[in-house]
Amino acid sequence: MTRVLAIANQKGGVGKTTTAVSLAGALAEAGQRLLCIDLDPQGHLTINMGVRRPDDLELTVYDLLTNSQVAVEDVRLHADKIGVDFLPANIELSGAEMQLASEIGRESVLTDKLEPVLDDYDFMVIDCPPSLGLLSINALVAATEVIIPLQCEYFGMKGMQQLQRTIDRVRAKLNPRLRIAGILPTIYKARTLHSQDVLELVREHYGEQVFAVRVDASIRFAECPIEGQSILQYAAASPGAKAYRELAAAVMATDAVAAEAG
């Protein structure tokens, strides 16, 4: 079964796009077939995939969501350097929520669009916007799992309860299979007591929901989009690349455990 991973946190600047791109790259490196979906109107995932001018794209996720005649195959591109397919976005996507608001079944438009190509992939990775609006709800309805990047700062924890309530509501009303795959500590600054204290607090509060791996802060991540690469290609031996390989291994191992349990 195809696993659909929503990378979600309504707070911006916590490493959602970095996680989506890097995890997808690590899974592809491990031989998995990947489709990434850019659901952020900023189009950062699209830029990271090597598209220099997202605003010049003829078709994007906006068209996929708002035009019944547009299919995934019409929008899909391939990132040669990272080795994944992706559905690009640009600023046009900011108007999609208003257009979808009056649609019947508006929460499941993305699910319906992805369904015909599910068997083409082992994983789909959705880069969610920094909000809990209709685009994020579509991602959570389409997803089998949520990965929550959580910045190792005190204010990074403040929105967790709201996000968890949203996930619980989606699970109860729209997508009973949805689960939290894990919380990923990001932008960790090993030399600061603040990061250390927050990480300890996160692990104490959320226990086994927190991935054992953490992602340290590094300028390398900011440099990757310029090259249209993930950290795995740009700095293959770096701690960041190692962290996302470990995350990919943990994600794949979770599936193996679930299969044995079933």
The secondary structure of the chain in percent helix, strand, coil, rounded to multiples of 5, reads 50, 15, 30
Contacts 24+ apart (CB under 8 A), 158-166: 158/11, 159/9, 159/10, 159/11, 162/10, 162/132, 163/8, 163/9, 163/10, 163/132, 166/132, 166/136, 166/137, 166/140
The whole-model pTM stands at 0.93
Q: In terms of DSSP H, where are the helices of the chain?
A: 16-29, 44-48, 61-66, 72-75, 96-100, 109-114, 134-142, 160-173, 193-206, 219-227, 231-234, 239-261
Q: What is the number of domains present in the chain?
A: 1
pLDDT one-digit tens code per residue, 22-64: 999 999 999 999 999 999 999 999 999 999 899 999 999 999 9
Residue 177 has pLDDT above 50, yes or no: yes
pLDDT one-digit tens code per residue, 54-81: 999 999 999 999 999 999 999 999 999 9
The CATH number linked to 110 is 3.40.50.300
Residue 255 has pLDDT above 80, yes or no: no
Domain boundaries, position 145: 3-261
